[in-house]
Structure 1
């Protein structure tokens, strides 16, 4: 970790901030539906934080790439709907089955073979579509807090013009100072800083939980999380070790499921932050930003619900704006690469629009449908070679 830069620290911090604030509320809803005690809820957050942190560090340090992992956000949304009436042991049993399926997927290597078939133009278009809503969030958040967003945008423009390397750190600093000066942080909630403790729940395996929780959780994690995660790294110029990464996330799920680590996968949005030029001009050393993220995830997990509450006091406009501005270069790069070759533009455009649409059928998210529709478009419109 020698040669650690300010951009590594800032990008890693933004990734953690975005990773928690974007979906931690959904995790709380799932825990609430399950009706477990506070100690068990804290154990869930400990397992999720440590799971993301340790798996990120293992993959990043082993392969020297910005390989970030995350909890399954669509999986959490699925749990909110499917955990009603399910006991905690049954849920843990379903999580273990999901972890076994993820591990088997990584070990067999079939997913990696499929991932390598994705054309670069379609992959870049899907990445741009995934990140597009974060860019839009900068402008939609103006309705919530125009002075804050306008100040951050002005700082970004000035930074890009005069001190490009420190543009995003400056935006974050200005945003925090403005919120502190105007009292925008929600500081009324009490905090107790203490280490979270793991609580083991003995699993129970039932056919209903297998069909209703384990299999859907596996499907949405693979389709809506792992596929975009692979594409994100490929679009940034890396050749990710797909099978090894899926195996690590699967084993992490198996180990931590009894403590609340319901499903881990490759990250896409947060990975884009650490794999982009804002993290480091040199792609060979961007992995240090991911390593920072891994360490911060571990710290956040150990401190449990207290630190998570700190994430939640930040105004939504601050989080949305810093995330959107940090991803602008990546969005532009993805769109540029996707539309560069005229023969691929139709397929890339179909892929991009399908991803942005948010289409979802049969528990399969828009990114996978985007790859399917884009691939079919490319197949139909690309002339076959004869002879």
Structure 2
């Protein structure tokens, strides 16, 4: 498809105007100028047409595998690529490689993708016209993306948590978690309590006396509370991946006690491998690969009653009753945006409204709420 750019439309309009006015008043100089502009436009268009003919792209492999949220690279052999790559949900970029180009694919969700063509755009030398076309990929490339949580669950069941110690590989956010026995949270000074350490910034902001609270000396334990309730399969994958990555990272330097919340009760599970089993059993309804991992690592999930103690980190969408069960001063990680996948605009609005209300309530109780949205970094505890 070829069309005129805004500059091209202006030049064509000017050329037509010069021709009409020149013929009407007998000004042959204007006519000649209009003809020259028209000829220049035609030459510009001819160069673009010659340069924008589709070329068949031939991949070096017909199938690639990757993890959801990441990508894969496919080598392409071709004569010459022209134009600018149009990035879309699957095609993330194009770069030069030996003997051809490397096409970078992006698989945002778990599932199967088929690449049968690549879109390009190209402007003419004078910028008067722009062409867009599709280069076919023969044979088509099939990309299979596994869920994000799967390799993390395998690592947890294989005992990789004991090999940590370098912090937490989790989802990116501009923050660090509380360190050791340091500051925990800020709350209002209650009548009769001693004012140990006044939080002057919070006091000025709130207009009432606020004091800092600290974790007990020698505390090297953390309770990780995982919300198993998710609004959709993609959110469930993101929640599970965030939970397991935090658990695996912290287990290298801290004693991690995992808890799960199923929408009705809060229960303690037997270690990080137990957390992985609980998540795999829950996500098996959406991702059959989860049951295959459980078959490869047989074992039993044991639940017990318990209340999170000490430092508490919770991973939740903030769309369940779990936030009301969390203690003041905890850290809440929210790795999803479920309202973007809501079936209707009304449901999306209600989700976002409830989410924002929970955020306000948690922050008012001294909790730290972190929005991570699928980007990796290292969290240090």
Give yes or no for TM over 0.5.
Answer: no
**Structure in which a larger fraction of residues adopt helix:** 1
**Larger Cα-atom Rg:** 2
TM-score, normalising length from structure 2? 0.26
TM-score, normalising length from structure 1? 0.26
**Structure in which a larger fraction of residues adopt strand:** 2
Kindly indicate whether structure 1 or structure 2 has the higher relative contact order, using CA contacts under 8 Å at least 6 residues apart. Answer: 1
